[in-house]
Structure 1
């Protein structure tokens, strides 16, 4: 009869395709109970599972049975997103467990579209998600979420409530100014406005706050990395050489401020002709994969150049919401889950789990 230690050793041979390591090494195995020829195994992962839960249960049961069929296996698989350590020497934000910055070295690579669809994908997987539009000069989130013209409410005249739409909590300077108003501000003013947007918003129990950074590596980006508790980052690029060169600069910036880069998302990787169905790499092939290998991170996934993605986002109905069963939505879900799984392996911030203690004389 198999022992608990043998089952643990068998589990250590199963390499999870999302975590890229075994469940024992990832500290996901919580308990093993043996009783009457049955092994009850409790596993808790640190990222939203969505439909992957059923697949993992089946794959893991088949794997263990193949190694040792003297037992029947009953798996209890659950998940919980924990807060993770951030490199900035600033206080963690209340009600926000993790902040993920989405960046690109240059504009025009579809970073904002990617940000909003990844946020919606995390929400579809079961997480509580918010998104912050950090582009002070050219906010686009109100259009993408169909919330243009809405104004945040304040309950105490000191902080503001996020705008809720499509299952996301969102905040943008675009909610506070007229659409045609230009923000003619110098860098420090824009950086100060960004800090206020983040800190003065009453976020509600977020597992993830996605921050859509403007392109480049200037004041806004440095403010985010040094004065906001950013947990990790993701870099969006297209396969063309000029975009890859600028994406390297974004990675270098995050490395300098010790913000982990979870991976690279390759956008506009292929285009499929609407007439003949021919698929072509019009911006080059393999650039995102080469960049990921060069900087030592994972290629989280590739997305196509698609007219539907552009039209749906412009209409305030991003692809993940408009076409939840489509192949493109599945790609966004896969990328979001790989991103969250990668983050779950980072060091946890246990201080967030403890309430503050104050002692008063009575």
Structure 2
């Protein structure tokens, strides 16, 4: 009967990877005790967006085996290393960018990082907006100072399960940095290679607005897994987002999807939805996957101001729920991207 269960599991495909769970090496064990099958599935990311569907498909397939009356499905997760790791100990580097400021890019980056960590991934967050760093404040660590470890490497600050570095924690509060391109390049190099990031599944990088020195330094320094474009729906934001998209393509950085921020507003007193900036404009960027739409939310703004990410402070709010799903969709896109480098047949544990 055990062999029949394994045969049944070969008919269950991962909904995103479109290959069966057995050939993907996602079945850790499948045993039968009496008339009950026990199956453990190792997901390709702790933030798998389709965990419920996978569980339902496994149960349906195994229950079809004669003699099986119940199925107990448990889950583990392991973010598989890519063929070419981004940095020593860092599996994937994900850029969060926009063509212009004011679209909520940093807020999205912070909540993506915290959401992935809350789902169980090991996450780092690099604030590469050297001139206008805001990540430290949004993480509630504006007054913290970066220290060095015994190997004289920068020790990232930890908050909400995420390790992060920001220029705000290295320079005096309120001091403007008046740097030319070479100094920016040097700073980015140090953030990436002279920091004790440890073992990370994902390193989220909050880019500055535009298409300048920092973006070039990053793409030339590390193997970037992919980028996320953040935009608001109106044309004036989309014009600059299109420029950022062109920059990523010229730098051979895959764009994993787009996040439409401030997409709509739900009036708290009536529940009516208002498309203040014109909803759905992100679809004008071409065939990019839409990772999700984030509504305008007063609580999310207040949470950012007091240094607590919305996905933790008000996880049931519309904005936080959207950001959580976006993080899971992004993790799924990374898994799909990694599949292109996986062998056709993976070993069964």
TM-score category by the smaller chain? Answer: 0.7 to 0.9
**Residue 162 (structure 2) pairs with residue 168 (structure 1):** yes
Give me the whole-angstrom Cα distance separating, in 2, the residues matched to 1:326 and 1:23.
35
**Which residue does the alignment assign to 1:330?**
321
Q: 1:184-203 residue pairs with structure 2 within 5 A? A: 184-203=178-197
Tell me if the contact between 1:84 and 1:231 (Cα under 8 Å) persists in the aligned partners.
Answer: no
**Which residue does the alignment assign to 1:78?**
76
Change (3 A) 1:4 1:52: closer
Gaps of 5+ in 1: 351-362
Give me the whole-angstrom Cα distance separating, in 1, the residues matched to 2:55 and 2:44.
19
TM-score with structure 2 setting the length: 0.86
Deviation string 1:232-283 (CA, Å, 9 cap, x unpaired) is: 2111111111212221222222222222211111111001224433211111
Q: State the shift of 1:56 in Å.
A: 4.2
- Report the secondary structure of 1:169's partner residue: strand
Tell me if the contact between 1:85 and 1:231 (Cα under 8 Å) persists in the aligned partners.
Answer: no
Change (3 A) 1:42 1:322: closer
Deviation string 1:157-184 (CA, Å, 9 cap, x unpaired) is: 7311111112211101111111221111
**Residue 318 (structure 2) pairs with residue 317 (structure 1):** no
Q: State the shift of 1:5 in Å.
A: 7.4
Change (3 A) 1:321 1:267: same
Gaps of 5+ in 2: 343-349
Tell me if the contact between 2:97 and 2:244 (Cα under 8 Å) persists in the aligned partners.
Answer: yes
**Which residue does the alignment assign to 1:59?**
56
Change (3 A) 1:143 1:184: same
Across the two proteins, how many residue pairs are aligned to each other? 338
Tell me if the contact between 2:293 and 2:322 (Cα under 8 Å) persists in the aligned partners.
Answer: yes
Give me the whole-angstrom Cα distance separating, in 2, the residues matched to 1:69 and 1:3.
9
Tell me if the contact between 2:12 and 2:58 (Cα under 8 Å) persists in the aligned partners.
Answer: no
Tell me if the contact between 1:233 and 1:261 (Cα under 8 Å) persists in the aligned partners.
Answer: yes
Give me the whole-angstrom Cα distance separating, in 2, the residues matched to 1:26 and 1:237.
38
**Which residue does the alignment assign to 1:357?**
none
- Report the secondary structure of 1:10's partner residue: coil
Tell me if the contact between 2:263 and 2:294 (Cα under 8 Å) persists in the aligned partners.
Answer: yes
Tell me if the contact between 1:195 and 1:228 (Cα under 8 Å) persists in the aligned partners.
Answer: no
Give me the whole-angstrom Cα distance separating, in 1, the residues matched to 2:65 and 2:151.
63
Give me the whole-angstrom Cα distance separating, in 2, the residues matched to 1:112 and 1:305.
15
Give me the whole-angstrom Cα distance separating, in 2, the residues matched to 1:112 and 1:33.
43
- Report the secondary structure of 2:337's partner residue: coil
Aligned CA RMSD, in angstroms, stands at 2.8
**Which residue does the alignment assign to 1:215?**
209
Give me the whole-angstrom Cα distance separating, in 1, the residues matched to 2:302 and 2:28.
48
TM-score with structure 1 setting the length: 0.84
Change (3 A) 1:61 1:93: closer
Tell me if the contact between 1:240 and 1:284 (Cα under 8 Å) persists in the aligned partners.
Answer: yes
Q: State the shift of 1:284 in Å.
A: 1.1
